[in-house]
Structure 1
Amino acid sequence: MSMSRTKERLVVIGGDAAGMSAASQARRLKDPDRLEIVAFERGHFSSYSACGIPYWVGGDVDSRDRLIARTPEEHRARAIDLRMRTEVTEIDVGRGRVRARDVDSGAESWTSYDKLVIATGARPIRPDLPGVDAPGVHGVQTLDDGQALLDSLAATPGRRAVVVGAGYIGVEMAEAMINRGYEVTVVNRGSQPMATLDPDMGRLVNRAMEGLGITMVNDAEVTKILTGDGAGRRVRAVGTDAAEYPADVVILGIGVRPETALAQAAGLPLGAHGGLLTDLAMRVRGHENIWSGGDCVEVLDLVSGRMRHIALGTHANKHGQVIGTNVGGGYATFPGVVGTAVSKVCDLEIARTGLREKDARRAGLQYETVVIESTSRAGYYPDAAPMTVEMLAERRTGRLLGVQIVGREGAAKRVDIAAVALTAQMTVEEMTALDLGYAPPFSPVWDPVLVAARKAAAAVAKAPR
């Protein structure tokens, strides 16, 4: 501890979910007389829901402020010195300090720390293409990004949107632009949208998106962004080797990478996906007084045993709670994830947890795959909607490995049954006896997940030993 200070100082880099959850939890456990907390955020907003940005852009959420869980002023009222529009440019691990720059004035200063939390998040993948920095080309990772996109839409009379990429971000932004009345084209390098699903389930998503009037261009690599000749050279089209797709606005939904340039420059350990590596307490490996969480870290996949990078607000908030508890003198751990995610495009719901077939093969697992068709409610009850469930079970043991669900209302959150079963390492045979809630308005007498479990258990029983 520095001799010039009589109390510990916690420095937090990043003012969103993981960073401010950590700061808030540490403050609950240690009062300002014992722990000083300084947090740096380079943007205009703190503690907001990045996951809500597509729904704000699309009009489902009526204002930006509804996505903000806690303002900088609210954090400061809790004795957290949150410095907005301030970017940390260097971590000096040897001397226990960080250098920060005021984004507006350019002024720089050093701040020492006793404990450090790195919560720098992730950055959108921005391909190195001609024209990618042209006006009208947008990523959507932060509230600043969402505001810039809305400002761009307001200033552009055209109604043609091209979304590059068809993962969660791409699919959600395609829906947002459909909701705003745009003509939407999705250019996707994969053979089907939603590469987090197996191909047969991805085809269901593709068919539904086309049914909504979205033009799907699969197996297509964007090679250039074309711009107009007028003032500002605004985007006018997206080009592939085979065609050009007119665009008044382009949204990059290719995915994200961990924002770990600072950590790498400081010599901190990174994994194969570029994320920081931590122990179960979310402490950066090999560094007693540095923690990290959120979109900038890698997490253990409890099903495959491999490290993964998953950028989700649920994980970030849990990481922050764990970090804040440990920094504040308590004890908590984050054991890992099973890879649960849900999304939607208009009324189509998409869910997955655990391993896809290619994940299971990569992990060296032998498995059985079953697919069933069912409905969200009893078939005779009004508005019963079709639902497709794919389930993977390990050959010989029958252990559940993964579940994917595509359907209408009532489909997506059913994946939580499978997420719990995966975490508990249940077999598909054990799942068939789960005492799930039943009434005709909520499910058939055999819930679709249990129908899949019965079929998977039968497939495991028949499989060669």
Structure 2
Amino acid sequence: MSIAGGRERLVVIGGDAAGMSAASQARRLRGPGELEIVAFERGHFTSFSACGIPYWVGGQVPERDRLIARTADEHRARDIDLRMRTEVTEVDVAGQRVRARDVDSGAEYWTPYDKLVIATGARPVRPDLPGVDAPGVHGVQTLDDGQALLDTLAGTPGRRAVVVGAGYIGVEMAEALIRRGFEVTVVNRGREPMSTLDPDMGRLVHRAMEGLGITMVGDAEVTEVLTGRDGRVRAVATRDAEFPADVVILGIGVRPETALARAAGLPLGAHGGLLTDLAMRVRGQENVWAGGDCVEVLNLVSGQQQYVPLGTHANKHGQVIGTNAGGGYATFPGVVGTAVSKVCDLEIARTGLREKDARRVGLRFETVTIESTSRAGYYPGAAPMTVKMLAETRTGRLLGVQIVGREGAGKRVDIAAVALTARMTVEEMTALDLGYAPPFSPVWDPVLVAARKAASKVRSG
């Protein structure tokens, strides 16, 4: 039964990638006369690129508004009732309604729905440490966070920065601070940076970052953020040392923001994310969908549920949800775990399973690692790269690829991502008809060199 004057009402919680992609796609399929769309966003901005914040902070992106794909007014012009600075505080699934609170005035009210989209995103991990809330300590998740950090950098006479954590956010923020002329120390719990890589590949990143002038401190647990007499941060302490800091960036990662869903009794997975079916419908619910950084997804290689908070997935989820909520049909089959990043001129990429992932799900495998170059060795600008490949024992099925190198290395991981999705063997990969010319690749592309070596190892094993 529709509740909005004969029209159905779609309510969307969250005004970023997944939520507004869903709202926009539903609007394309159904006009205002058929479907009313109400969206709630607690922040100041909508449809922005959180992935672009490090490049805004680093100066490659000159202004904040370049990171906004579509403003609130642009969404409203498409007949989407987008309510900014409005936080949903409760979801009543049985009564098909949500309670919202105006952040500025505190006024609360209920809004009924026929269909609901939960796109509440993720929250940064903020450790419970003494001094972690001191001025000068920053997380980087929203445009407001980015602006606050830029204000601190501009007003800080000192040039010492400590980044806590060496995952994607950590290494990207390390680059941003190097570009701004800061002395950068990265303090990481693990021995090597980039835990999304195997340790041997992470070691390559470690060496390269130190070569760029970044001090890497591994196997270090932060115990306290130390402050000066003015209350501002002055250092980061571990059990064994202190690292002076005029600014601190928390790059420890994120967790799914699912407190609303948990309180509403909706199903959560082992990683704390919402569980959905292939249509992105919340399991056990007929008219509730969820997408983006608040959900878990199926890893097509391992067959296990995984938490992968990436904007690429969020936008795809939104398209699928909007199509289904708008009366069409679409599915999101899963992911293979592809990601790419950089720190200065070092490119870092991975897809599929790491060694420990394969062991965890009971797969036996062979590994190979090769050294190659981004172009023909005789062509100017050829840069080194290292490719590691995992293949299943006996079958030769590709299981994962990791790449660390200079210009031209990172996006080669897409070859492996397609091969993983197609469930190709490494033997089949050796025959891939990839583009070749000396300015772009050696005659045998590095990924194919690794596939040849992996195929030979599988055969001989």
> Do they superpose with TM above 0.5?
yes
Structure 2 residue matching 1:373: 3-state secondary structure:
strand
Structure 2 residue matching 1:279: 3-state secondary structure:
coil
User: Is 1:309 paired with 2:311?
Assistant: no
- How far apart, in 2, do the equivalents of 1:291 and 1:154 lie? 42
- State the one-letter code of the partner of 1:158: G
Q: 1:149-160 residue pairs with structure 2 within 5 A? A: 149-160=149-160
Distance 1:4 1:423, change over 3 A: closer
- How far apart, in 2, do the equivalents of 1:240 and 1:104 lie? 39
- How far apart, in 1, do the equivalents of 2:10 and 2:152 lie? 38
- State the one-letter code of the partner of 2:395: T
| Matched-pair contact (CA < 8 Å) for 2:4–2:36 | no
1:309: how far off? 0.4
1:227: how far off? 1.0
Corresponding position of 1:176 = 176
RMSD: 0.7
1:144: how far off? 1.2
- State the one-letter code of the partner of 1:89: T
- Cα offsets for 1:129-150 (capped at 9, x unmatched): 0111111111111111111111
Q: 1:149-298 residue pairs with structure 2 within 5 A? A: 149-230=149-230, 233-298=231-296
Q: TM-score, normalised by structure 2?
A: 0.99
- State the one-letter code of the partner of 1:113: Y
Corresponding position of 1:366 = 364
| Matched-pair contact (CA < 8 Å) for 2:9–2:35 | yes
1:411: how far off? 0.2
Corresponding position of 1:386 = 384
| Matched-pair contact (CA < 8 Å) for 2:3–2:113 | no
| Matched-pair contact (CA < 8 Å) for 2:3–2:9 | no
1:3: how far off? 5.3
- How far apart, in 2, do the equivalents of 1:127 and 1:3 lie? 44
User: Is 1:46 paired with 2:40?
Assistant: no
Corresponding position of 1:348 = 346
Corresponding position of 2:12 = 12
1:94: how far off? 1.0
User: Is 1:432 paired with 2:427?
Assistant: no
- Cα offsets for 1:54-88 (capped at 9, x unmatched): 00000000000000000000000000010111111
- 4+ residue runs over 6 A deviation: none
Q: 1:95-134 residue pairs with structure 2 within 5 A? A: 95-134=95-134
- State the one-letter code of the partner of 1:12: V
Corresponding position of 2:71 = 71
Identity %: 85
- State the one-letter code of the partner of 1:399: R
- Cα offsets for 1:323-348 (capped at 9, x unmatched): 00000000000000000000000000
Q: TM-score, normalised by structure 1?
A: 0.98
Residues matched between the structures, number? 461
1:45: how far off? 0.4
User: Is 1:32 paired with 2:36?
Assistant: no
Corresponding position of 2:23 = 23
> Unaligned 5+ residue runs, structure 1?
none
Structure 1 residue matching 2:452: 3-state secondary structure:
helix
1:5: how far off? 2.9
1:4: how far off? 6.2
> Unaligned 5+ residue runs, structure 2?
none
- Cα offsets for 1:27-68 (capped at 9, x unmatched): 000000010000000110000100000000000000000000
Corresponding position of 2:451 = 453
- State the one-letter code of the partner of 2:42: R
Structure 1 residue matching 2:109: 3-state secondary structure:
strand
